[in-house]
């Protein structure tokens, strides 16, 4: 009996799924190392091609597939140890620090568009999530958060004042403030 192309794809998907689930930790680790070496040995052009390919692949996914991946990632993150979560945070921190200003700007723009295009439902979900997250924080975490926010505000104010000063005319710069 000959299978249709769709059935072949489905069969292959199932086979790959079982294969991935049955792999040992050692095999997973080997695969990870291999992927890392492969990525490091790629030229910029190849990396760019890979990025484009992944982008197309992601865009061609059905909503169902996207949802499955989201759920998978959610479960994966929940099952991680604190150490693993910390590792990921550190990795992302280093990655962000090593980005060029252009890349950082690109990410900011992308996030801004994504944020603006959210539906009311998504906004509400985020609000609820943040509320729960804040309630679950320890007092120490809350204090840390306050401090960070304070620092950010100071930085923004500094930048704002700097721009404001640069935009003043010579006359305004030379003017002294006289008490009333």
What is the per-residue pLDDT for 150? 93
Confidence label for 71 from pLDDT (cuts 50, 70 and 90): very high
What is the per-residue pLDDT for 162? 87
| Average pLDDT score over residue span 1-29 | 86
**pLDDT surpasses 80 at 95:** yes
Confidence label for 178 from pLDDT (cuts 50, 70 and 90): low
Spatial distance between the Cα atoms of 60 and 104, rounded to a whole number of angstroms: 26
What is the per-residue pLDDT for 109? 92
Per-residue model confidence as pLDDT tens digits over 36-51: 899 889 998 998 999 8
| Average pLDDT score over residue span 86-113 | 90
Chain centroid offset of residue 38 CA: 23
What is the per-residue pLDDT for 16? 87
What is the per-residue pLDDT for 13? 87
Distances (CA, A) of 114 to 107, 119, 130: 10, 10, 18
Spatial distance between the Cα atoms of 143 and 106, rounded to a whole number of angstroms: 31
HEC-encoded secondary structure of 102-155: HHHHHHHHHHHHHHHCCCHHHHHHHHHHHHHHHHCCCHHHHHHHHHHHHHHHHH
Report the percentage of the chain scoring pLDDT > 70: 97
Per-residue model confidence as pLDDT tens digits over 120-177: 999 999 999 989 988 888 899 889 989 999 999 999 999 898 888 888 877 777 775 5
Spatial distance between the Cα atoms of 153 and 2, rounded to a whole number of angstroms: 66
Name the helix (H) or strand (E) containing 177: none
What is the per-residue pLDDT for 157? 92
Average pLDDT for the chain: 88
Report the percentage of the chain scoring pLDDT > 90: 24
Q: Which two tokens stand for residue 24?
A: 């040992």
Q: What is the dihedral of CA 157, 162, 164, 169, to 10 degrees?
A: 160
What is the per-residue pLDDT for 128? 92
* Residue 13 burial (CB count, 10 A): 10
* Residue 35 burial (CB count, 10 A): 10
Spatial distance between the Cα atoms of 100 and 176, rounded to a whole number of angstroms: 41
HSE toward the beta carbon, residue 123, CA cutoff 13 A: 6
What is the per-residue pLDDT for 177? 57
CB 37 within 8 Å of CB 45: no
What is the per-residue pLDDT for 25? 81
């Amino acid at each position: 009996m000959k299978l249709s192309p769709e059935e072949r794809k489905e069969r292959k998907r199932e086979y790959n799924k079982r294969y991935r689930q049955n792999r040992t930790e050692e095999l997973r680790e080997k695969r990870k190392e291999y992927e890392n070496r492969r990525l490091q040995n790629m030229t910029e052009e190849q990396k760019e091609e890979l990025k484009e390919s992944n982008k197309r692949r992601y865009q061609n996914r059905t909503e169902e597939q996207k949802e499955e991946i989201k759920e998978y990632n959610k479960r994966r993150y929940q099952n991680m140890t604190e150490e693993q979560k910390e590792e990921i945070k550190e990795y992302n921190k280093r990655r962000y620090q090593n980005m060029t200003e252009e890349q950082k700007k690109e990410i900011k723009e992308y996030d801004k568009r994504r944020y603006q295009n959210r539906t009311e439902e998504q906004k509400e979900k985020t609000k609820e999530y943040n509320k729960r997250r804040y309630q679950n924080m320890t007092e120490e975490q809350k204090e840390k958060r306050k401090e960070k926010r304070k620092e950010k505000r100071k930085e923004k104010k500094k930048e704002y004042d700097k721009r404001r000063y640069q935009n003043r005319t010579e006359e305004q710069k030379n003017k002294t403030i006289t008490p009333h």
